[in-house]
Structures are given as structure tokens and as C-alpha cells.
Amino acid sequence: MPEYDRAGIGRRDNPKRLHSAWLLRVSSITVFCLFTAAPGYSQNLPNPPGAADVAKVTVHQAQQRVSRATLEAVRWSGPVSGPSARRGKSIALVAEDLRNGGIVGVAQGAREAATAMGWTLKIFDGGGSTAGRAKAFADALAAKPDGLVLCGSDALENTAALTPFALQGVPVVGWHAGAQPGPIRGTPVAMNVTTDPLEVARLTAMAAVAQSNGQAGVVILTDSRYSIATAKAQAMESVIRACQECTLLEVRDVAISQSSEQMPALTRELLQRYGKRWTHTLAINDIYFDYSIVALTGAGIPSDGMSLLSAGDGSASAFLRIRAETYQTVTVAEPLNLHGWQVMDELNRLFAGQPVSGFVAPIHLVNIDNIAFDGGKKFQYDPDNGYRDIYRHLWNP
């Protein structure tokens, strides 16, 4: 069995040997323990795992952190060298749910990159359901791709569906497929492309502390089906608990795929329960807010009477709300299009038998002060750092 390095593949090993080695390790996978925030999780319950990570949060600290994160895009800090494009590759992208703006943004970037590399890209939509996901995996496997992108689905929970790809020597790269960037142990995912979700979540919660002058009354929305969402919720909760005069009202578990059905009634329920004590909502994704606005306006809450802050992904509707100053004030937007280019670059490195780049993009908070920059006029966060030309130069020297 090859020795594994931090880049996630065996040293000097090609993709087929990598996946064979992974299969040998499947039998030794340990139980993955996951803390799940239950509906109605009360602030009076004991602190959850991770709550001790932040000892104390002051308003000054929060304001400084937010100020740094709202700067315009920094210079490119990603890869500046790599293999030329392996021509004629066919890539399958299995999307958890194309109703999710983050997933759509990554898929669009991947399609741009595929064109630049002379590759073909086929997208298979899981529709946010178990049956839809199973069909998407089956259809993707039948397409006999050279590489697979797992977009928005938890890799550990879908290990069985990924195994047939590994058996055929198909390298796998993920986006938001786990709780951390990098390789995902116990799965064939050689690189999970994402910004650091814990930093994204902490920054979102810091913004609520800064906005409220340390007086926020907070509800957190998450989806416990995904390890990345649970990790974000825990990190946000940890910050709010560390703010001395902030109040954590509740952590509510709402499936992203059911947000359209559940959020209007849930918003009315929370308004009735907490009234004016509820001042800020922190969510692991912008999509929850798409379906809570009607309930807020119907209850007579003014557009500045509730602050909605999202720890990802920077959807077009989120940008529109922030720009119009209607409820949503913050999204810690991911560079979705850039991530689409990165997943394709990581696959190209695997095709060439090279380590993945391991690049983790810096986090960026979007608010009314900086929304006009770095793609904001097009209702997206698209860093103006020349990443497209840089990747093109890598692939076509």
C-alpha cells in the first residue's frame, strides 16, 4: 500500500494505483461520529462539541475580523505551475441539487474550464433526494467518464456509490463533499474543494456580533444531513456563545431540499416564539432566506428589522437582497466559478499522476459596502485576480 501524503494521493502513484490502495483501506474505515443539532436545540443545554474553541468574543474583535474580510480580492495565491491539459477527457459531475445556487455556480465554472481544456462535461442532477441521487450516480457511471466531480453531496455518506468509480480507476474530486478542504479519508475523494467552512462560519457569526454591538438574538439554520453544514453550525454557535451579551435562541435543523416547504411556516413560528428577541438569523446557506422573506414581510417586519447572514455560498438572490438592503446583510460568498475551475485542475493533476494542488481560497465577506466589486455587479463573487488566465496558462503553456 502506498504511503499517503498530505495532498491526498500516494507519492509517485498514478490514479489507478491510488484507487486500488483506497479500496484496500475500505475495510478499516472507522465509525464517523457526527454531532447533530436537533430541532429546537436550546441555549440552556450544555455546550456542544467545539463550543470551547472560542473563549471570548468582543465587539472590537468582531469588527476587526469583519473589516479584514471585506477587502477586495487579494492577489492570486493558488497554483502557478502544473501539468498541461490531458486532452479529450470526459468528466461527469454529480450535483446534489441544482436548485442550490452554490452548486450551479461551481457547475458553470467547471463547464468554462472544460471548454478551455478541450474536455466534455456531463452534469447529473440528484434533485436533493435519495432516489434522485442514486439515479444520478448510476447515470454518471453508465456514461463511463474519465473523471468524476462530486458536487455538494457528502462523500462519506455516498461511499458505496463512489466505489464503482474507484474500481474502474476513475479519479474523484469533490466540492463541499466533506467538512474540510483536502482529501476525505475513507473515500476515493482525492481533494475536497472548499473554502475553510469553519472560518466561513466564524466570520458570519462575528458579523452578527459586530452589527448588533454584541447584543444579537440569534437563530441558526442548518442541515444535519451534511457534515459540512453541521460543522458550520457548531462553529457559529461557538462564537455566539462566546459573545457575553448575545443570546443563542435556537439551532433549527431544516433540510435544504425542503426549505421551500418549511421556511415560511418556520419563520412565522419563530417570530411568534421569540418576537423582538430574534434579531439575527445565521444560516449555512443563502437558500433558506429565499423562502423566509415573504413570512417576514407578511408579519410586518421592516427590511431593517431582521438581519439575515449566510455562511455560504453567495447566491444571486443573496446579492440582490444585500444590494437592495432587504433583510439580508451578509453572505460569506465562496468563489464558486473559481472553484469550478479548480476542481477541473485537480482532476487534470490526478490524470497526470501528480499531487493535487490543495489550494484553499481565502474567505470573503460580502456586504453593502463592497458588493459592487469582484463580480458583485453580476450578482456573484468572482475574484478579480486573473485566475482564468492563470489556469489557461497552466493547461496550455
Domain CATH for 278:
3.40.50.2300
Q: Is residue 70 part of a domain?
A: no
Query: Chain centroid to CA 152: how far?
Result: 7
209 touches 201 (CB < 8 A): no
pLDDT value for 73: 67
171: pLDDT strictly greater than 90:
yes
Would 15 be classed as within a structural domain?
no
Q: Residues of the chain with pLDDT > 90: what percent?
A: 77
Range(s) of the domain holding residue 182: 90-195+336-361+388-395
**Mean pLDDT to the nearest integer, 361-370:** 93
CA distance 33 to 41: 19
Residue that is last in its domain, among 313, 331, 349: 331
Do 184 and 256 lie in one domain? The reply is no
Q: Check whether residue 238 and residue 248 sit in a common domain.
A: yes
User: Helix, strand, or coil here: 309?
Assistant: strand
Same-domain check for residues 312 and 349: no
How far is the CA of 283 from the CAs of 260, 302, 318, in angstroms?
Answer: 15, 20, 12
> What's CA 234's distance to the chain center, in Å?
15
In this structure, is residue 47 part of a structural domain?
no
Q: How many distinct structural domains can be found in the chain?
A: 2
Residues 227-270 pLDDT 10s = 889 999 999 999 999 999 999 999 999 999 999 999 999 999 99
Looking at the fold, whether 230 and 251 belong to one and the same domain comes out as yes
Lowest-confidence pick of 20-34, 298-312, 372-386:
20-34
Given a cut of 50, is residue 43 above it in pLDDT? no
Q: Are 263 and 295 in contact (CB under 8 A)?
A: yes
- Quote the pLDDT of residue 292: 97
Q: Is residue 29 part of a domain?
A: no
Over residues 74-79, the mean pLDDT reads 87
Highest mean pLDDT among 12-21, 45-54, 170-179: 170-179
**Mean pLDDT on 204-229:** 95
- Asked if residue 4 has pLDDT above 60, the reply is no
In this predicted structure, what is the pLDDT of residue 359? 97
Query: Mean pLDDT throughout 178-199?
Result: 94
**Distances in Å between the alpha carbon of 111 and those of 6, 118, 315, 361, 364?**
28, 11, 18, 20, 24
Confidence of residue 226 (pLDDT cuts 50, 70, 90): confident
Higher pLDDT, 46 or 229: 229
Within a domain: 3: no
Kindly state whether residue 144 falls inside one of the protein's structural domains: yes
At residue 228, the pLDDT reads 85
Residue in the structure block whose three cell numbers are 439580508: 328
pTM for the structure as a whole: 0.79
In a domain, residue 51? The reply is no
> Quick check: 8 and 183 in contact, CB under 8 A?
yes
Q: What is the pLDDT of residues 313-341, one digit of tens each?
A: 888 999 999 999 999 999 999 999 999 99
DSSP-derived pairing of the beta strands 90-95 and 147-151: parallel
**DSSP per position, 7-45:** TSSBTT--HHHHHHHHHHHHTTPPP-----PPTTB-TTS
Q: Are residues 318 and 233 in the same domain?
A: yes
